[in-house]
A and B are shown apart, each in its own frame.
Chain A
Amino acid sequence: MAFAAFGGGAAAATAEPAPLRRGWIAIGLLAPGLAYLLLFFLAPLVSLVVTSLQVAPEGAAKGEYVPGFEWANYANAIASYWPHILRSFGYAITATLFALIIGYPIAYFIGVTARKWPLIQALSLTLVIAPFFISFLLRTLAWKQILGDNSWIAQTLHGLGWLPADQNIVGTPFSVIFGLTYNFIPFMVLPIYASLERLDRRYLEAGSDLYASPATTFWKVTLPLSMPGVVSGTLLTFIPAAGDYINASPIYLGSIQTAMVGNVIDRTFLESQEYPIAAALSVLLMGIILIIVSIYVRRSGTEDLL
Chain B
Amino acid sequence: MAASGTFADAGADLELVGLHKRFPGFTAIESLDLTIPAGSFFALLGPSGCGKTTTLRLVAGLEQPTSGRILIGGKDVTDVKPFRRPVNTVFQSYALFPHMTVLENVAFGLKRRRIADPVAKAHEALQLVELDHLALRKPAQLSGGQQQRVALARAIVNRPALLLLDEPLGALDLKLRRQMQLELKTIQGEVGLTFLHVTHDQEEAMTMADTVAVMNKGEIEQMGSPEELYELPRTAFVANFLGQSNLFTGQVVSESGDLIVVDVAGVKVAVPKERAQRHRGAVTIGVRPEKLLLHSTAPVAEAGVNTLGPGRVIDVSFSGVSTQYTVAIPGIGDLVVFAQNMVFGPVVNLGAEVWVSWHAEHGFGLADEVLDAGEKFAADTSTGSIAQRTKEELLEELGEA
Taking CB atoms, residues of chain B closer than 8 Å to A224 are: 99
User: Who on chain B is nearest to A223 by CB?
Assistant: B99
Q: Does A71 contact B (CB under 8 A)?
A: no
A210 to B3, CA, bound (A): 11
Taking CB atoms, residues of chain A closer than 8 Å to B99 are: 221, 224-225, 227, 305-306
A209 near B108 with CB under 8 A, answer no
Q: Does B113 contact A (CB under 8 A)?
A: yes
Q: Does B336 contact A (CB under 8 A)?
A: no
Most chain A beta-carbon contacts within 10 A, residue among B82, B87, B93, B154: B82
Tell me the minimal C-beta distance from B299 to chain A in angstroms: 58
Stretch of A14-22, A160-168, A211-219 contacting B (4+ beta carbons < 8 Å): A211-219
Given contacts A202-B93, A205-B91, A225-B99, contact A212 B112 (CB under 8 A): yes
B93 near A209 with CB under 8 A, answer no
Given contacts A210-B88, A210-B109, A210-B112, contact A205 B2 (CB under 8 A): no
Tell me the minimal C-beta distance from A116 to chain B in angstroms: 11
User: Who on chain A is nearest to B112 by CB?
Assistant: A211
Taking CB atoms, residues of chain A closer than 8 Å to B98 are: 203, 225
Taking CB atoms, residues of chain B closer than 8 Å to A306 are: 99-101
Q: Does A151 contact B (CB under 8 A)?
A: no
CB < 8 Å: which of A209, A221, A305 contacts B83? A209
A225 to B139, CA, bound (A): 14
B81 near A211 with CB under 8 A, answer no
User: Who on chain B is nearest to A305 by CB?
Assistant: B99
Q: Does B60 contact A (CB under 8 A)?
A: yes
CB < 8 Å: which of A209, A216, A227 contacts B62? A209
Taking CB atoms, residues of chain B closer than 8 Å to A208 are: 61-62, 81-83
A203 near B97 with CB under 8 A, answer yes
Q: Does A206 contact B (CB under 8 A)?
A: yes
A203 to B82, CA, bound (A): 14
A209 to B60, CA, bound (A): 7
Bits for A177-210, please: 1 = Cβ < 8 Å to B, else 0.
0000000000000000000000010110111111
A202 to B93, CA, bound (A): 8
Given contacts A203-B97, A205-B62, A206-B97, contact A211 B91 (CB under 8 A): no
Taking CB atoms, residues of chain B closer than 8 Å to A212 are: 83, 108, 112
A221 to B108, CA, bound (A): 11
Q: Does B89 contact A (CB under 8 A)?
A: yes
CB < 8 Å: which of B2, B83, B95 contacts A200? B95
A210 near B91 with CB under 8 A, answer no
A216 to B81, CA, bound (A): 14
A135 to B87, CA, bound (A): 55
CB < 8 Å: which of B61, B62, B108 contacts A210? B108
A210 near B158 with CB under 8 A, answer yes
Task: State the interface size on chain B (CB cutoff 8 A).
Answer: 27
Taking CB atoms, residues of chain B closer than 8 Å to A220 are: 108
Taking CB atoms, residues of chain A closer than 8 Å to B82 are: 205, 208-209
Tell me the minimal C-beta distance from B70 to chain A in angstroms: 15
CB < 8 Å: which of A206, A211, A305 contacts B95? A206
Taking CB atoms, residues of chain A closer than 8 Å to B87 are: 209
A5 to B373, CA, bound (A): 71
Given contacts A211-B109, A216-B112, contact A206 B83 (CB under 8 A): no
A216 to B112, CA, bound (A): 9
Given contacts A211-B83, A213-B83, contact A203 B95 (CB under 8 A): yes
Given contacts A209-B60, A210-B112, A211-B109, contact A221 B81 (CB under 8 A): no
CB < 8 Å: which of B3, B93, B97, B113 contacts A221? B97
User: Who on chain B is nearest to A209 by CB?
Assistant: B89
Taking CB atoms, residues of chain B closer than 8 Å to A200 are: 95
B113 near A202 with CB under 8 A, answer no
A305 to B97, CA, bound (A): 12
A220 to B108, CA, bound (A): 9
Tell me the minimal C-beta distance from A200 to chain B in angstroms: 7
A203 to B81, CA, bound (A): 16
Taking CB atoms, residues of chain A closer than 8 Å to B83 are: 207-214, 217
Given contacts A211-B109, A221-B97, contact A206 B81 (CB under 8 A): no
A221 to B83, CA, bound (A): 14
Taking CB atoms, residues of chain B closer than 8 Å to A305 are: 99
Bits for B87-129, please: 1 = Cβ < 8 Å to A, else 0.
1110101011111110000001100110000000000000000
Taking CB atoms, residues of chain B closer than 8 Å to A217 are: 83
Tell me the minimal C-beta distance from A242 to chain B in angstroms: 29
Taking CB atoms, residues of chain B closer than 8 Å to A209 are: 60, 62, 82-83, 87-89, 91
A220 to B3, CA, bound (A): 17
A267 to B171, CA, bound (A): 67
Taking CB atoms, residues of chain A closer than 8 Å to B91 are: 202, 205-206, 209
A210 near B154 with CB under 8 A, answer yes
A205 to B99, CA, bound (A): 16
A213 to B93, CA, bound (A): 21
Taking CB atoms, residues of chain A closer than 8 Å to B97 are: 203, 206-207, 221
Tell me the minimal C-beta distance from B63 to chain A in angstroms: 10
User: Who on chain B is nearest to A200 by CB?
Assistant: B95
A4 to B87, CA, bound (A): 62
Tell me the minimal C-beta distance from B288 to chain A in angstroms: 39
Taking A205-B95, A206-B97 as known contacts, 15 extra A-B pairs with beta carbons closer than 8 A to each other, sorted by chain A number, are A203-B95, A203-B97, A203-B98, A205-B82, A205-B91, A206-B96, A207-B97, A209-B83, A211-B3, A211-B113, A214-B83, A225-B98, A227-B99, A305-B99, A306-B99
Between A and B, 23 residue pairs with Cβ closer than 8 Å are A205-B62, A206-B97, A207-B108, A208-B81, A209-B82, A209-B83, A209-B87, A209-B91, A210-B109, A210-B154, A210-B158, A211-B83, A211-B109, A211-B112, A211-B113, A211-B158, A212-B112, A214-B83, A217-B83, A224-B99, A227-B99, A305-B99, A306-B100
Interface residues of A (CB under 8 A from B): 200, 202-203, 205-214, 216-217, 220-221, 224-225, 227, 305-306
Interchain residue pairs A-B with the least CB separation, the first 3: A210-B109, A206-B95, A211-B112
